[in-house]
Amino acid sequence: MAARILHRLRHALAGEGGREEPAGGGEAEDCPESSELEDDTEGLSTRLSGTLSFTSHEDEEEEEEGDGASEELEEPPQAPGAAAGTEDGEWVSAAERPGGSLLTRQLQELWRRSRGSLAPQRLLFEVTSASVVSERSSKYVLYTIYLIRSGQFDKAPATIARRYSDFEQLNRRLRCRFSCDMASVAFPRKRLRRNFTAETIAKRSRAFEQFLSHLYSIDEIRRSPEFLEFFFLPDLQAAQRLTCTGMYREALATWANAYRLQDRLGVCSSGRFLLTLAGLAVCHQELDQLSEAHGCCEQALQLLEAQGSHPLLGPFLQAHIHLAWKVGKDKRRSEARLQDLWEAGLPVQQQPSLKECLIKEPLE
């Protein structure tokens, strides 16, 4: 149908101009199909380009338009004109129509290259706000960053707040350990002046998004303690301090954010994650939210199922038995596991409580 309308339109224009447009000529890219395909290419993702952008918005659009090797596509791009129906109900490929084959082949080749060269972008980093903080002896910009799973809606976002010096320290530590991988990663240079202008803050926000996305695209860096702890270690330290001082409601919110950060980063089986579950269980229990505390203990025990011994296994079992009795849940399995530990020679009665383990755990 679209081909017929286009054919009539061309004939009408040719009649008014007194000449007929040559078939397959150089003007074929001006047709609506080609225009729609070009629009599609402008919208392709360049999150994993790995280059920091310090140009204006217009320059960024031009660079993104030309950087085909760094684009990520889920499916081969196909505009409405790429396969149009004929009167007989048959389909005609773009390669059989004048002017349509070149651009379509380019996009197909772009898709094949991007599928083979890039890791899937499962996590997005978005600077949502930046504020200038003035203290007694210093002034700096604090960037708030959301960690967003692509294609999903998160009711409670995982957030971090970092300043330039935090990013600079991460960049320095990673370059010391991953010098080869970091050779292609750019980092915004420190400025002596104009650090607090809206233009500088906007450019750095974009640069930090690309910096984190590039790091996350490299497997070894994505799994490294340096990269992971940049996100959740400050929250764990703050939550531990709040718990030690009895500020359980404030601590609970911080433990919860640390939980979401580790969940987004895919490290839900590490020792840090078990410590986070311990913090959540303790704070929920202190706030008389016993069902939530019981759920945290159950999740931790599921993670510890395959481990014969762990410093937190005994405390979690004891806390789970106590909470299960409080909320009327089955505690027989935890009692049997605790009995097995006792028979294996573990001094069950001398085990510290979950709260004591939480307070004594060094977080550096």
Mean pLDDT lowest for which of 148-152, 181-185, 318-322? Answer: 148-152
284-335 pLDDT, tens digit each: 999 999 999 999 999 999 999 877 678 999 999 999 999 999 999 999 999 9
Mean pLDDT lowest for which of 33-47, 103-117, 235-249, 258-272? Answer: 33-47
Query: CA torsion sign, 57 to 63 to 67 to 70?
Result: negative
The number of CA neighbours under 13 Å toward the Cβ of 126 is: 10
235 pLDDT higher than 90: yes
What are the C-alpha distances in Å from 3 to residues 6, 81, 84, 96?
5, 8, 7, 12
DSSP category for residue 310: -
CB-CB contact of 204 with 188 (8 Å): yes
The token pair that represents 183 in the structure block: 């050779």
- The pTM (predicted TM-score) of the whole model is 0.67
Instruction: Quote the pLDDT of residue 153.
Output: 78
68 pLDDT higher than 80: no
Instruction: Quote the pLDDT of residue 154.
Output: 77
pLDDT band at 218 (very low <50, low <70, confident <90, very high): very high
pLDDT band at 269 (very low <50, low <70, confident <90, very high): confident
What average pLDDT does range 228-243 have in this prediction?
Answer: 97
The token pair that represents 227 in the structure block: 């990269």
Instruction: Quote the pLDDT of residue 103.
Output: 57
Q: Over the chain, what is the mean pLDDT? A: 76
Instruction: Quote the pLDDT of residue 285.
Output: 97
What average pLDDT does range 138-148 have in this prediction?
Answer: 95
Q: What would the DSSP string read from start to end of 23-44?
A: TT-GGGGGSHHHHHHHHHHHT-
1 pLDDT higher than 80: no
Higher-confidence position of 16 and 197? 197
331-364 pLDDT, tens digit each: 999 999 999 888 888 787 788 999 999 999 999 7
